[in-house]
Structure 1
Amino acid sequence: MGLSGSCPGQESEIGPALDLSPLPPELLLQILLHVPPRMLVTRCRAVCRQWRELVDGPALWRLRWAQTKDASSQDLLEATHYCPPAPKPCSWARLGILEPLGRNLLRNPCGQEGFQSWELENGGEGWAIEENRKPVPGAQAQTCFVSSFRWCRKRQVVDLLAQGLWPELLDDPRAEIHISDWWGAREDCGCQYQLHVRLVAANRRTVLARFDVEPDPIPQWNDNTCIQVSHIFTNFRKGVRFLFFEHAGKDTQFWAGYYGARITHSSVKVYFRTP
């Protein structure tokens, strides 16, 4: 009775568009801070030259990171202060979208997406994916890659620039690359494990730093042991642009099936040490 409003299914009226072009850049910047990052790049950047310059420039993203206050945003704020990227089209916007610091640069670290993103080298009966026998703290999923009775290898190549990192940061001695991997065994079968990591130049051939480890095998009749292997690359040579990550596993009993090393929660993260 006397109630106004739209009928069901009727589109509500949209008010007249507001022309923001007369606004000074300082005020426009405050408005753009409330726009989601991807919309800034895909929509707002195309509006006009002034908007494109704001989205591509450092001021908008520095303010956004300062207000967000999460760890990744604070790391980017500090890193770009001490080690700003070279001025290139959309370079700051790429940082805002990709947020590469403190993020795992390896894809599908727990097998939650099958074998996607991994290059496999199958020994014995190859690789399988199973649920963890013990929870792995911090893992994206409680699943793991399980090796067989001969060496099974699995590798990824990380293009560090494509992930959003920039040459000035990678060449700075305060950059750190943190490596972590978890491996374990079934309680009824021992296993062996290896990890090989290379920091490689732009030509994909020159190795600038490396880390290799092959811990003592886990013996048969264990308690479903799960072990973390970690390493931090510091003060590495300039020119690192790719990271080669490979791990391998097998069982020690030579049993048919999938009784070898169980590998999960692999990670590669880049940080920037600040004073």
Structure 2
Amino acid sequence: MSESTSTTSLEETMDLSEVNPEILEEIFLRFPKKDLVKCSQVCHLWKNIINTRSFWVAKEDYEGETYLRSLIDTRKPILGNDFALLSIKRPYERELLVHENPDGKTPVTKNADPRWYFNDGGNGWRYQEPPSFIQSHFHRDFKPIFDGCHETSYGTCSKYFDLSIKDLGLTPEVMDNFRPPIVFSEWVTNRSDCGCLYRSSIQLFNENRHRIAWERQELSFDQWQYQLWQKVEVVMQSYPPGARSIRILSSGRDLQFWNGHYGPKMAGCQLMIKMEETPPPTQPFELGGLQDAPME
């Protein structure tokens, strides 16, 4: 067989333009997800097969996954119609952080999502395992729910990370029209012999990196207050249009300027996007630059 004949046969073998759509779908189910996104750009027929909810539900069934079905089972309106993006990124109703980093250089970074940036104050951050407590000053409801925690010092110790909505699997249309709630939570406690202060915030920025909205919570502990893990939750919702990136920030320091690690202890942080629509904002928010964003 000549080279030209072989090439012609190969081209004829690879021509899928006349294949029955049902057969094409069976073929596509066996492709990696990211390759399917490229396939949808080949022609209208392929796009019409791939860019449907039913196809991506079938794809997840084929892969033994249940994410899209779990969203459908909530009986809530699904925010967004890019089901490829939803299946690949899985932005809603799940924990978006991890709690370990094998590539971390210190115990602080090894026991945290690799996207966190840590800024030291005083004696800096410390990862303590088990957490350091005054044994005679536990609240009656105290439970040792964490084997280790991040501890802060007498100068403000802060940590933050930035995420684009694209990285999360959210589109500008979803952010501008539905404003799904962004929820950050963290468990916090004290060492009872020293007063301390904890703060956390969610900040939204537009494409020019101007801050367009932010929400903050804080929790203070008096000296000799009984030790008890408390969950602090920040919810960002009903925000203005234009949000294109998110900054999560938490910080802590002791209030008595003691050498060592007597500031708030933090553990079990979580980030979640709720698949819910919230109302538009009722008041305008003054634009602020990234340099104006509070760091504690």
TM-score (norm 2): 0.66
Partners of 2:222 and 2:60 in 1: how far apart?
45
Percent identical pairs in the alignment equals: 22
Change in CA separation of 1:24 and 1:48 when aligned onto 2, cut-off 3 Å: farther
Q: Match of 1:135?
A: 145
CA distance in 2, matches of 1:175, 1:24: 39
| Residues 251 and 109 of structure 1: CA distance in aligned 2, closer, same or farther (over 3 Å) | farther
Structure 1 CA distance for aligned equivalents of residues 25 and 243 of structure 2: 35
| Residues 129, 52 of structure 1: alpha-carbon distance in 2 compared, 3 angstrom cutoff | farther
Q: What's 2:294 paired with?
A: none
State whether residues 187 and 221 of structure 1, in contact with CA within 8 Å, keep that contact through their aligned partners in structure 2. yes
**Alignment counterpart, residue 273 of structure 1, candidates 264, 276, 284:** 276
- Quote how far apart the aligned CAs of 1:185 are: 1.7
Change in CA separation of 1:272 and 1:97 when aligned onto 2, cut-off 3 Å: same
Q: Cα RMSD between the aligned structures?
A: 3.9
In the alignment, structure 1 residue 160 sits paired with structure 2 residue 165:
yes
**Shift of residue 200 of structure 1?**
1.9
Cα distance change of structure 1 residues 198 and 113 upon mapping to structure 2, 3 Å threshold: same
| Alignment partner of 1:243 is 2:238 | no
**Structure 1's 70 and 46: CA in aligned 2 closer, same or farther, altered over 3 A?**
closer
Deviations 1:216-237 (A, max 9, x none): 32533623x2111113323221
Cα contact 1:160–1:243 (8 A) shared by 2: yes
Q: Distance in 1 between matches of 2:258 and 2:195?
A: 10
* Aligned partners of 1:186 and 1:259 also within 8 Å: yes
**In 2, distance between residues paired with 1:121 and 1:61?**
42
Q: Structure 1's 65 and 211: CA in aligned 2 closer, same or farther, altered over 3 A?
A: same
Partner of 1:60: 55
CA distance 1:79–1:25, change in 2 (3 Å) = farther
One-letter amino acid matched to 1:24: N
Quick one: which of 185, 193, 196 aligns to 2:198? 193
Aligned to 1:228: 231
Of the three residues 110, 115, 118, the one matched with 1:117 is: 115
Residues of 1 paired with 2:154 and 2:27: CA distance? 60
- Pair 158,77 (structure 1): closer, same or farther in 2 beyond 3 Å: farther
Query: Structure 1 residues 44, 148: CA separation in 2 closer, same or farther (over 3 Å shift)?
Result: closer
Q: CA deviation at 1:191?
A: 2.3
Gaps of 5+ in 1: 1-17, 86-90, 137-141
Match for residue 40 of structure 1 among 4, 13, 33: 33
Unaligned 5+ segments in structure 2 are 1-12, 102-107, 132-143, 278-296
Aligned letter for 2:118? L
Once the two structures are superposed, what CA deviation does each residue of 1:147-189 show, in whole Å capped at 9, x if it has no partner? 1122111111121222211112112236221221221123544
TM-score of the pair, normalised by structure 1: 0.70
Q: What CA distance in whole angstroms lies between the structure 2 residues aligned with 1:215 and 1:131?
A: 23
Distance across 2 between alignment mates of 1:125 and 1:171: 42
Aligned pair 1:24/2:20, yes or no?
yes
Which secondary structure state, in structure 2, belongs to the residue aligned with residue 260 of structure 1? coil
8 Å contact from structure 1 (residues 157, 245) kept in 2: yes
Q: Secondary structure at the match of 2:249?
A: strand
- 2:155: which partner in 1? 150
Give the corresponding residue for 1:206.
211
Alignment match of 1:215 (pick from 210, 219, 235):
219
Letter in 1 for 2:34: V
Question: Which of 80, 84, 94 is residue 84 of structure 1 equivalent to?
Answer: 80
8 Å Cα contact 2:162-2:245 kept in structure 1: yes
More off after superposition, 92-101 vs 192-201: 92-101
